[in-house]
Amino acid sequence: MARITKEAAKQRIDFLKKELERQNYNYYVLNQPVITDFEFDLLMGELQGLEKMYPEFATEDSPTRHVGSDLAGAAGSEFVQVPHRYPMLSLGNTYAKDELLDFDNRIRKAVSAPYSFSCELKFDGTAICLTYRGGRLLRALTRGDGQKGDDVTRNVIHIASIPREIHGENIPDEFEIRGEIYMPYAAFDRLNAERTEAELEPFANPRNAASGSLKLQNPAEMRTRGLDCVLYHVLGENLPFKTHIEALEAARSWGLPISAYSQRADSIEEAIAYIDAWDTRRKTLPFATDGIVIKVNELDLQRQLGFTAKSPRWATAWKFKPEQALTPLLSVDYQVGRTGAVTPVANLEPVQLSGTVVKRASLHNKDQMDLLDIHIGDYVYVEKGGEIIPKITGVELSKRPADAQRPAFPSCCPDCGTPLVRDEDEARHYCPNRESCPVQIKGRFIHFAGRKAMDILAGDATVEQLYNKGYIHTLPDLYTLSRAQLIDLDGWQEKSADNFLSSLEASRNVPFERVLYALGIRHVGEQTAKTLARHFGSIDALAAATREDLVQIEDIGDTVADSILAYFASEAGQETVRRLREAGLQMAVNAEANQPLSDTLSGKTLVISGNFSISREAMKSLIEAHGGKNAGSLSGKTAWLLAGEKAGPEKLRKAEKLGIPVIDESQFYTLIGKE
């Protein structure tokens, strides 16, 4: 680091302290980071260098001397804060292999005994500390500020992989075990698809989704989030273990979720080889990782090496650099959704990123555009959030054209010209012209006819034709269409008209939960519709529900409840329900159809992987129909891995390591007594 004047260093240190605290708050409390981990680490590294150069400016409250805090503050927190028995520190990290060699040299100088390393994947989730007493889960705490954390036990007990009670040999009377709560990609995709369908803001990445879920006000909603857990550090008084790996293997035998990907290394060179192997292999995993943790394996040497104010001296984290691409921003489109939400979408010069060509990336809302200070013609950095969703993370200002202009966020609907509105508690702008905005009307029909809704043979082109002809304006109009009207459409013949009418007829038998989802009530996605249908049983009971009735249900918060109430209070909503009922649609749960086929799989959790002779959704429904539960990832509680063609190799390896039986489709049918 170049030498700077004492006055300039003081100013820069003060700025970096404030900026890092602000970014810590965005990351840990709001779960809305606005810079990447790599950018944060660069700022932290700069502050550490300046404090080393000018130690008189290094204060005890510096971010270099304490971990980031996820505590929202006692006044606004819904969780009780409990002191940690042992401080819950963070890890030092590096992006340079030379620093791993330095880490090894420091250990070699400090201890005389031989040592080995435990190499572990760094799961990208949110830290958790579990306490077991007498074999039962006593308490679950977040990292908090390292000295105390939020008690989230009421939420953690709904995560399937975390046992409330453990069994086995030599279980200490009381001990702590720490780890990470994370969201697998499959659950993240499902949750974000649900939020996108309901036009809620999607989570930026699985880590934010996991952290936000852990602080949900309604504990029962945790069951819908698909969270998982991996544990990696056992703590307690007089534990009977000599090595870290031995302690984890004991915890695995007690039924606790321990990573199947860890490996012992007898030298730092072996640890670096482990890093190199996983730098590519990690992209095939069903969950997000952001690095590798390397720990001294021998527990007596860990105690000898001790801690700094912020992190253990016996462990460090290698951080994977995010794969980025730099590409020009060509333009910004403004898309109007079926509920009127306006989403800015960046059009990019095509660029290769993580194996795919990226041309477009959502900018989410006006606040995000302002935060990035984005201009047309800018060269922008694009990453894939969780290796999945293209995301613009920054602008290369050195490449900004002199005449670059900020894109103007529209004040009126791009489709119908109605002035946009913005809810106080939401970041999105909306077109309020629900009944007359053409793009909203057509969007509702496309949603209504979708495969997961009414499954009617009406795609974008068909809806466009029917709307332009004036044949449809509200959803029930579909059920008044005649064969003659359909044949009158360009390109339609008798067979295509008959197929369309047959799909309309079949839609009258679609189950109530799908009808409810098809209505397109704002913020009511597929899973929420299922929850409402199970709870109320009929459209009439739901329409009569009060706000208090709604918010007591899992997965239903204030925003969703208010949206449901507004729909059934509106004349348009009431008229739509009345006419669809007259058209013969299912407006109540068919109790007979929902009876389980058997209880053969009662109490059993299955994970499916690969392709089957039926769709994966149908296979999951079959498991539930016989009393079983579906999970997205393997754990000690998994009864079977149901493997079809092209089953995931990582799942097969993990099942073998955990001793979980693997069955194929034929064996599964035998299990449930189905030919």
What distance in Å separates the CA atoms of residue 639 and residue 668, rounded to the nearest whole number? Answer: 12
What is the chain's alpha carbon radius of gyration, rounded to the nearest angstrom?
28
The alpha carbon dihedral of 600, 606, 611, 614 has a sign of positive
| Choice among 122, 384, 442, 629 that is catalytic | 122
**Nearest in space to 516 (alpha carbons), one of 459, 580, 461, 433:** 580
- Which residue shows structure tokens 């572990």? 120
CB-neighbour burial class of residue 115 (10 A; exposed 0-12, middle 13-18, buried 19+): buried
- A 10 A CB-CB count for 572 gives 11
- A 10 A CB-CB count for 389 gives 17
The three-state (H, E, C) secondary structure of 422-466, written as one string: ECCCCCCEECCCCCCCHHHHHHHHHHHHCCCCCCCCCCHHHHHHH
Residue 485 phi/psi, 5-degree rounding, is -65, -40
What distance in Å separates the CA atoms of residue 129 and residue 70, rounded to the nearest whole number? Answer: 14
Strand 325-336 relative to strand 638-643: parallel, antiparallel, unpaired?
Answer: unpaired
Q: How far are the Cα atoms of 23, 74, 392 from residue 322, in angstroms, in the given order?
A: 18, 35, 13
Half-sphere exposure of 415 (CA within 13 A, CB side): 22
Residue 122 annotated among the catalytic residues of the structure = yes
What distance in Å separates the CA atoms of residue 192 and residue 183, rounded to the nearest whole number? Answer: 12
Q: Cα dihedral angle (15, 21, 25, 27), rounded to 10 degrees?
A: 90
Q: Which two tokens stand for residue 144?
A: 């908090």
Distance of CA 644 to the CA centre of its chain: 26
Looking at the annotation, which residues are catalytic?
Answer: 122
